[in-house]
Amino acid sequence: MSLGDMTPKERVMAAIYDHDLDFFPAICPTSVANFECMRLTNSFFPKAHFDAQSMADLAASAHHVLGFDTVMPYFSVHLEAEVLGCTISWGDGTVMPVITKRPFDRVEQFEPPTNFLNRPLCKQLLKAIRLLKKQSGGEVGIIGKVVGPWSLAYNLYGAENLLLDTILEPKRTFNFINELSSIPIEFAKAQFEAGADMITWADHVTSDLISAKLYEEFVLPIHKIAAAKLENRGPIILHICGNVMDRLDLIKKTGFKIFHIDSRNDIQKAVEICSDNILLTGSINNPYTLTNGSTSDVKKEVRRNIEQGIKLISPECAIPFKVPNANLLELVNSIHRAPLSSLGKTKS
User: How far is CA 325 from each of CA 20, 35, 36, 67, 303, rounded to the nearest angstrom?
Assistant: 30, 9, 7, 11, 19
Distance CA 299, CA 321 (A): 20
Residue 2 lies inside a defined structural domain of this protein: no
User: Does 85 fall in a domain?
Assistant: yes
8 Å CB contact between 236 and 230: yes
pLDDT above 70: percentage of residues in the chain? 98
Domain count, the chain: 1
- Residue 93 has what pLDDT? 79
Beta bridge partners of 99: 88
pLDDT band at 94 (very low <50, low <70, confident <90, very high): confident
Q: What is the mean pLDDT of the chain?
A: 95
Closest alpha carbon to 66 in 315, 237, 246: 315
Residue 338 has pLDDT above 60, yes or no: yes
Q: Decide if 326 is inside a domain.
A: yes
Model confidence pLDDT, tens digit, residues 103-160? 998 888 898 888 999 999 999 999 999 999 999 999 999 999 999 999 999 999 999 9
Is residue 312 within 8 Å of 280, Cβ to Cβ? yes
- pLDDT surpassing 70 at residue 310: yes
For residue 3, being part of any structural domain is answered with: no
CATH number at residue 56: 3.20.20.210
Among 301, 300, 290, 302, which Cα is nearest to 326's?
Answer: 290
In angstroms, the CA 230 to CA 264 distance is: 29
160-198 per-residue burial string, b: 16 or more CB within 10 A, e: under 16: ebbbebbeeeeeebbebbeebbebbbebbbbbbebbbbb
**pLDDT over 80 (residue 4):** no
pLDDT-derived band at 2 (thresholds 50, 70, 90) equals very low
Domain membership of residue 261 as a residue range: 8-342
**pTM (predicted TM-score):** 0.96
Looking at residue 304, what DSSP letter applies?
A: H
Instruction: Say which residue, 67 or 275, is predicted with more confidence.
Output: 67
- Judge whether 264 lies within some domain: yes
| Structural domain contains residue 68 | yes
Say if CB 209 and CB 202 are below 8 A apart.
no
Q: Over 60: is that where the pLDDT of 6 sits? A: yes
Looking at residue 92, its pLDDT comes to: 82
pLDDT digits (tens, 9 = 90+) for 25-67: 999 999 999 999 999 999 999 999 999 999 999 999 999 999 9
Instruction: Report residue 290's pLDDT band, with 50, 70 and 90 as the boundaries.
Output: very high
Per-residue pLDDT at 78 exceeds 50? yes
pLDDT confidence band for 222 (50 / 70 / 90): very high
Q: How confident is the model at residue 347 (pLDDT cuts 50, 70, 90)?
A: low
- Residue 163: pLDDT over 50: yes
Position 1 scores a pLDDT of 43
Task: Kindly report the number of other CB atoms within 10 A of residue 135's CB atom.
Answer: 17
What integer pLDDT is reported at residue 157 of this predicted model?
Answer: 93
Q: Per-residue pLDDT for 3 more than 60?
A: no
**Which tens digits make up the pLDDT trace of 198-212?**
999 999 999 889 999
Report how far apart, in Å, the C-alpha atoms of 299 and of each of 81, 290, 328, 330, 343 are. 37, 10, 10, 7, 15
Answer yes or no: is 49 within a domain.
Answer: yes
Res 348 pLDDT > 60? no
- Helices 182-194 and 170-180, packing angle to 10 deg: 10
Q: Is residue 65 part of a domain?
A: yes
